[in-house]
Structure 1
Amino acid sequence: MRATCQVRVLGGFAVAVDGRPVPGDVWRNRRAADVVKLLAVAPDHRLHREQVMDRLWPDLPADAAGANLRKAVFYARRALGRADAVRCEGRLLTLWPGGDLDVDLDRFQRAADAALASGDAERCALAAAGYRGGLLVDDRYECWVAEPHEKVEGRYAALLRAAGDWERLLDLDETDEQAHRAVMRRHLAAGRRGEALRQFDRLRRTLRERIGVGPDAETVELYESALSLDAAEPPSPAQRAAVALANGLVAFGRRHLAEAERLARQARVLALDADLGHELGEASTLLALVAHARGTWHRLFREEFADAVRHPSRPVVYDAHLCLQEFYLYGPEGHDGAESFGRDLLDIASRAGSAAGRALAYLLLGEFALLSGRLDDAVTTLGESLGEAERAGCGSARSLALERRAEAEARRGDPAAARADLDEALPLARSSRIPSHLVIRVHGVRVLAAGTLGGALGAIREAERWLTEAPHVCDPCSMGFRIAAATACANAGSPSRARPHLAEAERISGLWQGGPWTAALWEVRAEVRRAQGQRTRATALFLEAAERFAAMRRPLEERRCRAAAASLSDR
């Protein structure tokens, strides 16, 4: 009787030989398991030796990688209990060539192909039910898993689409606009107008946060038709603002800048009148994007700022200016010109006698000092911002000033002072009108100010718990936390724990091209490579980060990266 080997790669990794599970502790040599995984997902379950070496040991010379491969194959054969479990014939490696091999991925792919070819929705639903989870979920951040994972997930998505299983498709990809529209239409057909409106709001926020766009015209038209249906109540200000923002993003995507600006201002007025902090932030961001595209950002902000400080306003107005200001500092242009611009704003606010205006101006000046590496100046100036924000009763500005001052204190070696500021900032952020922007920023600096790696990992766990419970988190504002968390995990010798945070940071950075976060990503990649023992690759990445920080005029970060590269070269 031919020996059988069953390999599971969907939802996790497991092997059984002749019906008996291979215990997990048999895979003490991790690369032995990796060889089996690679061959299990490869076409015909075979690969050239060079392909395996390149995927598992990309940084090693061929001789060293070859020695590692021979060792891994030896331990794989031992784990599977057969000398021919992995056959090396010429330059080719083959998994279980002398017996019957059953891989769950093969069964799923055959069923999926047959169902999709039939075009039958029920067959597609049945085939989709055979998908037991993502490919090699414990290895999802390994580079060699990305391509096969993308292929199998794409096939699963095609099955769900053909079956009309829109909810599960949204569980897989929450940005799928066709699925959102189908769910909206289903709600409307059942008379659930409110559910359809909420589905649109979920889509709008998801698209904005995750890929930096708005719904397309077809979806906006469906939403407007839902709003126009007979209802007990007319559309709320939030719903009207949502329509304006969605249409504004459509206009911006088509480069109809005048229309995008008109709609952004319309949404901004609705948000101000109804005290809608989140919608106000979105409207301000859209205004900033339009102004940046036109090259008129400074004029726009100066006019908005001057109008706010010359007329009595509620604190929510200043929340909008905080969003505009952060876009300026951390956007693609960096912080060039921030100091003279900040002093201009301070003069406007002082002549108007506006404490809230002075708080924002000092905040801009303090952040400029921090980004420029003048830490003592940053602490002093951010203290001025804090005092003015307290006088103005502006909680959001107080939270942001405390958080930025805490980062300056942590970076100049005073973590105790930083933690005291953060303890004061966190409740202010939680109770503000824009907690989705402010709370995660505080968590990011708490990682920096922890003082020990154990403390940093504890701060990361606390932030991760909050992220799972938060209904909405601003992606750009979460970059500081993602960068700090990935760095701390890598420094603690856990690159696998760093990778999810690095992956999130890379996704968000793709929405916000250029700026200091791009440089920070190169530094984090270097830290992960260093944690993996890949010194040559880490050195090159640290130097790349240093060059990018230098271009952004970030001297502290540049020196830190050059020092890290030098320390690796000296060993």
Structure 2
Amino acid sequence: MPATCQVRVLGGFGVTVDGSPVPAHAWRSRRAADVVKLLAIETGHRLHREQVMELLWPDLPVEAAGANLRKAVHYARRALGGPGAIAVDGQVLALWPDGCLDCDLERFNRDADTALASGDARACAAAAARYGGDLLPDDRYEWWAEEPRARARSRYVALLRAAGDWTRLLELDETDEEAHRAMMRRHLAAGRRREALRQFERLREALRERVGVGPDAETVALYETALAEGAEPPSVEQTVAVTLANGLVAWGRRNVEEAERLAKRARALALDAGLGHELGEASTLLALVAYARGTWHEQFRQEFADSVRRSANLENAVFDAHLCFQEFYLYGPEGHEGAESFGRDLLGIATAADSTAGRALAHLLLGEFALLSGHLDEARAHLDLSLTDAERAGCLSAQSIALERAAETQVRRGDRRAAAALLDRAMPLAHSSGIRSHLVIRIHGLRVLAAGGLVEALGAVRDGERLLAEATHVCDPCSMAFRIEAARACVRANDLGRARRHLAEAERISGLWQGGPWSAALWEIRAELRRATGQTTQAAALFLEAAELYSTLHRPLEEDRCRGAAGVR
């Protein structure tokens, strides 16, 4: 057997044996390489064969998984140069036990632990420089790599923090508040007050867009210190920023009255100054307060009425701020009952004010209501009107959602090609909108649904998974449709482990919304998983459970689909 083996797992996978790289084609199968990866990232480079079988073939019977493991080990040994490359000690597999094995992850962990224990900033910076990148990035969607990847990245972040490398930390995570604060202090110490103020604005924008929260009290106090050091008084924008930030701090402390007071003050200042972006942030905070009090409908109606009398810029900001709450209204525990009368009320307000943007938003709500009720012609008529008015008003988010919903009507009619074309139009609008963390994942979900075949559907699933893995933040409730459709596509592909992971995420998110159509959809996916494993009786019972839930929510198309799957009409 060759004497030395070097395994690289940071930044990518590669193996070098006695100085010669192992070519990709030598593995013969993906699972052969996966066995080596598993052993390389495990402490001691040893794993019981049953652990490997459970990690790589969780849905197969023991006999089938064992046969697959034997084949994978055979090909891995051939790629590495001999049978001793992966030894078997009883029931335990060991990687390169009798030679010199060098793994970059093991070296990085050792150097990182030594540097962190020393507390020396230079040593930590040197150890951080040896981080080659995230662990096994090409295996981003393999669940067995998630925990070791997170541990390695956590060590890297700890090294950067100990080294005071705030710039690189912000490159990794633009929402790292400690790093932003350190940069603000550095700017203030150097007399760069305006840079400190801009640093705060970058943080506030990142937190709003990516996480949906505001800076904490310590950061807000630092910002107020920077404002006070200036010769000129704070601008209206800066005053609103401080007011909103303190309002979010109050909300985080569950001081609802103070949060509402500050949000109303910020909203009044933003309205008077015509600050659409800041108005949207104030509306978001007011929506949170109103939702907590059960008064969201009244709050949105009032803000809608106020904004349509002013300018399209303000209308668009209010709509963006309330998007998730509107979707909760349509998809929440009571379904979409009452949505039609609410939409017609908003349409009347917008028409009286001669507001193009207001009409776009009202027609959108009416179109969504008709779609969920199964009235496809009526839905498409409202959605076309919404799209026309949204284009005139320049409301990107309303255009994106109108196209997305129009695509869904085409899918329900069986015209998947037309649906795909509409989604292609919607995607750049979603990316350009101010709420891309909400809209882009919705389109990915529709792309899975609109796919012309299983291969195309799985490609759409991978695209959505990549977005979820790489984006700093994606709105959880807005990702529900993607999770449901991804699970359904994975069941069809017999990738049941992957389907269960999407289902588990959907179940977690569904906990935010007690009841509602997502609960019905979850029962439907559970039924499809049971059917895929041959449990037809249990599957039929679950399909009927889903059908009953859809019936109570007045979702006839989904109800009929589930009753048909259960063999009941």
Q: Does the alignment reach a TM-score above 0.5?
A: yes
Assess if the C-alpha contact under 8 Å between 1:86 and 1:94 holds in 2.
yes
What is the distance in 2 between the residues matched to 1:101 and 1:362? 65
SS class of match (2:16): strand
Deviations 1:76-109 (A, max 9, x none): 1111111111111111111111111111111111
SS class of match (2:83): coil
Assess if the C-alpha contact under 8 Å between 1:261 and 1:290 holds in 2.
yes
Find the counterpart in structure 2 of residue 11 from structure 1.
11
Q: Which runs of 5+ in 1 are unaligned?
A: 567-571
Assess if the C-alpha contact under 8 Å between 2:47 and 2:93 holds in 1.
yes
The more displaced of 472-481 and 220-229 is 472-481
Once the two structures are superposed, the pairs formed by residues 250-399 of structure 1 within 5 Å of their partners are 250-307=249-306, 312-323=309-320, 326-331=323-328, 334=332, 336=334, 338-340=336-338, 342-344=340-342, 346-347=344-345, 350=348, 353-356=352-355, 359-383=360-384, 385=386
What is the distance in 1 between the residues matched to 2:93 and 2:299? 63
Give the partner amino acid of 1:227: L
Query: What is the deviation of 1:279?
Result: 2.9
Give the partner amino acid of 1:365: L
Query: What is the deviation of 1:14?
Result: 0.8
> Aligned pair in 2 of structure 1 residues 348, 2: CA closer, same or farther (>3 Å)?
closer
Deviations 1:302-324 (A, max 9, x none): 33344556xx3222343244236
Assess if the C-alpha contact under 8 Å between 1:342 and 1:361 holds in 2.
no
Deviations 1:465-492 (A, max 9, x none): 999xx9x998479748956995899699
Deviations 1:505-524 (A, max 9, x none): 97995996666668778989
What is the distance in 2 between the residues matched to 1:139 and 1:328? 35
Give the partner amino acid of 1:313: R
Find the counterpart in structure 2 of residue 137 from structure 1.
137
Assess if the C-alpha contact under 8 Å between 1:212 and 1:511 holds in 2.
no
Assess if the C-alpha contact under 8 Å between 1:395 and 1:432 holds in 2.
yes
What is the distance in 2 between the residues matched to 1:364 and 1:177? 37
The more displaced of 140-149 and 258-267 is 258-267
State yes or no: 1:65 paired with 2:74: no
> Aligned pair in 2 of structure 1 residues 37, 429: CA closer, same or farther (>3 Å)?
closer
Assess if the C-alpha contact under 8 Å between 1:399 and 1:426 holds in 2.
yes
What is the distance in 2 between the residues matched to 1:165 and 1:54? 40
What is the distance in 1 between the residues matched to 2:132 and 2:539? 37
> Aligned pair in 2 of structure 1 residues 466, 223: CA closer, same or farther (>3 Å)?
same
Query: What is the deviation of 1:183?
Result: 1.5
The more displaced of 218-227 and 166-175 is 166-175
The more displaced of 348-357 and 543-552 is 543-552
The more displaced of 357-366 and 182-191 is 357-366
Give the partner amino acid of 2:167: E
SS class of match (1:84): helix
SS class of match (2:168): helix
> Aligned pair in 2 of structure 1 residues 419, 58: CA closer, same or farther (>3 Å)?
closer
State yes or no: 1:407 paired with 2:408: yes
Find the counterpart in structure 2 of residue 214 from structure 1.
214
> Aligned pair in 2 of structure 1 residues 561, 103: CA closer, same or farther (>3 Å)?
farther
Assess if the C-alpha contact under 8 Å between 2:361 and 2:398 holds in 1.
yes
Deviations 1:328-369 (A, max 9, x none): 332286273745354256347537824445554443222122
Equivalent pairs counted in the alignment come to 556
Once the two structures are superposed, the pairs formed by residues 157-236 of structure 1 within 5 Å of their partners are 157-230=157-230, 234-236=233-235
Query: What is the deviation of 1:170?
Result: 2.3
What is the distance in 2 between the residues matched to 1:36 and 1:344? 59
Assess if the C-alpha contact under 8 Å between 2:397 and 2:435 holds in 1.
yes
Find the counterpart in structure 2 of residue 569 from structure 1.
none
Query: What is the deviation of 1:54?
Result: 0.7
> Aligned pair in 2 of structure 1 residues 172, 442: CA closer, same or farther (>3 Å)?
closer
What is the distance in 1 between the residues matched to 2:251 and 2:56? 44
Query: What is the deviation of 1:65?
Result: 0.9
> Aligned pair in 2 of structure 1 residues 86, 393: CA closer, same or farther (>3 Å)?
closer
What is the distance in 2 between the residues matched to 1:19 and 1:102? 12
Give the partner amino acid of 1:283: A
Assess if the C-alpha contact under 8 Å between 1:410 and 1:449 holds in 2.
yes
Assess if the C-alpha contact under 8 Å between 1:7 and 1:40 holds in 2.
yes
Query: What is the deviation of 1:230?
Result: 1.3
> Aligned pair in 2 of structure 1 residues 364, 542: CA closer, same or farther (>3 Å)?
farther
Find the counterpart in structure 2 of residue 117 from structure 1.
117
Q: TM-score, normalised by structure 2?
A: 0.80
Assess if the C-alpha contact under 8 Å between 1:483 and 1:520 holds in 2.
no
Give the partner amino acid of 1:295: G
Query: What is the deviation of 1:66?
Result: 1.1
Once the two structures are superposed, the pairs formed by residues 451-530 of structure 1 within 5 Å of their partners are 475=475, 479=479
What is the distance in 2 between the residues matched to 1:282 and 1:192? 27
Assess if the C-alpha contact under 8 Å between 1:441 and 1:477 holds in 2.
no
> Aligned pair in 2 of structure 1 residues 349, 74: CA closer, same or farther (>3 Å)?
closer
Assess if the C-alpha contact under 8 Å between 1:475 and 1:508 holds in 2.
no
Query: What is the deviation of 1:58?
Result: 0.5
What is the distance in 1 between the residues matched to 2:547 and 2:241? 37
Give the partner amino acid of 2:202: R
Query: What is the deviation of 1:19?
Result: 1.5
What is the distance in 1 between the residues matched to 2:169 and 2:27? 35
Query: What is the deviation of 1:51?
Result: 0.9
Assess if the C-alpha contact under 8 Å between 1:396 and 1:434 holds in 2.
yes
What is the distance in 1 between the residues matched to 2:110 and 2:139? 24
> Aligned pair in 2 of structure 1 residues 68, 207: CA closer, same or farther (>3 Å)?
same
The more displaced of 387-396 and 325-334 is 387-396
SS class of match (1:133): coil
> Aligned pair in 2 of structure 1 residues 474, 551: CA closer, same or farther (>3 Å)?
same
Give the partner amino acid of 1:168: R
C-alpha RMSD of the superposition? 4.8
Give the partner amino acid of 1:409: Q
Find the counterpart in structure 1 of residue 82 from structure 2.
82
Assess if the C-alpha contact under 8 Å between 1:519 and 1:546 holds in 2.
no
What is the distance in 2 between the residues matched to 1:240 and 1:134? 41
* Identity of matched residues, %: 60
Query: What is the deviation of 1:207?
Result: 2.6
Give the partner amino acid of 2:379: A
SS class of match (2:84): coil
SS class of match (1:75): helix
Query: What is the deviation of 1:278?
Result: 3.3
Give the partner amino acid of 2:301: R
Assess if the C-alpha contact under 8 Å between 2:9 and 2:136 holds in 1.
yes
